[in-house]
Amino acid sequence: MLPALRGVPGGARTRVRQVTKGGGMPFAVGSRQADGVTVVEVGGEVDVETAPRMRAALAAAVDAGLPVVVDLGGVTFMDSFGFGVLAAAHQQGARAGTPVVLRSVSARICHLLALLGLNAVLTIEPAPEDAR
């Protein structure tokens, strides 16, 4: 089970995809509905090769109509393609009236979000207390 999905009651994982790219670094994205939100957990490297999978998972989550929590606690690397996906999901959610919130964002990715000015646009919340 992906780490952020442990301990979240209710719901079942509805989508999981794992890819190992040339460098051997895995990527995984999973989503499920629990407690009135859709939780999308992302892990591994988000780059030009894996960002389309994250984009598809986030688009489906926003289309589901429930608030979306994007758990980035397992992300080890994110390039501009990944940041573009997060911005696009935020825009899609805003158009649909569906909040999109980032959770468990590493200090490194928070710093990059700040450099890009996305921290002023995206909603970022800390990891839940029991996940720390």
Q: What averages of pLDDT result for each successive group of 10 residues across the chain (132 residues)?
A: 41 48 75 95 96 98 97 96 98 98 96 96 83 52
If you ran DSSP here, which 8-state letter would residue 18 be given? E
pLDDT of residue 128: 74
| Cα atoms in the Cβ-side hemisphere of radius 13 Å centred on 94 | 9
Structure tokens at 70: 């994007």
Q: Residue 131: its pLDDT value, please?
A: 54
**Per-residue pLDDT at 98:** 97
- How would DSSP label each residue in 47-98? STTTHHHHHHHHHHHHHT-S-EEEEEEEEEEE-HHHHHHHHHHHHHHHHHT-
The domain locations on the chain are 12-127
Asked: is 12-127 a CATH 1.10.10.10 domain? The reply is no
Contact 24, 54 (CB under 8 A): no
**pLDDT at site 127:** 72
Cα 70 from Cα 103, distance rounded (Å): 6
Q: What is the pLDDT of residue 105?
A: 96
Which tokens in the block code for residue 58?
């986030």
The confidence score (pLDDT) of residue 24 equals 54
